[in-house]
Amino acid sequence: MSAGQVCVFRHSNVLLVSHVRNVIESAGLSAALRNMTLAGGAGELPPDQCEAEVWVAIEAEWQAGQLVREALDGPSVTTPAWRCAGCGERLDGVFDRCWQCGQARPRDVPG
């Protein structure tokens, strides 16, 4: 363990670990990858010591943890469904544009 840093995510899938690091860094936090090539040591080393990891500064642990949960589970806030003013199509809240006619979600509709 490094002084001033903490592991916020660990997994055997290096692509998932890289994705989590990208999510954290896109939020403006600095993140470091560790153990990216230790999978071949499994068996000789304890399995939990061979998983790829994402590390952040201790001060960023809470925010990074929130970002990890959102990256894995999706956003915690759901956006309400809306109806397109152009064609009347009902759309799930995840859409910013109508898939039927391409009209943008009205500004008065949350999202």
Identify which of 48, 7, 6, 56 has the alpha carbon closest to the alpha carbon of residue 27.
56
Least confident of 14-23, 35-44, 92-101: 35-44
| Res 39 pLDDT > 60 | no
Helix (H) or strand (E) holding 15, with range, is helix 14-26
Strand partners, 33: 54
User: Is this prediction's pTM over 0.85?
Assistant: no
How many C-beta neighbours within 10 Å does residue 4 have? 10
- Give the mean model confidence (pLDDT) for residues 63-83: 86
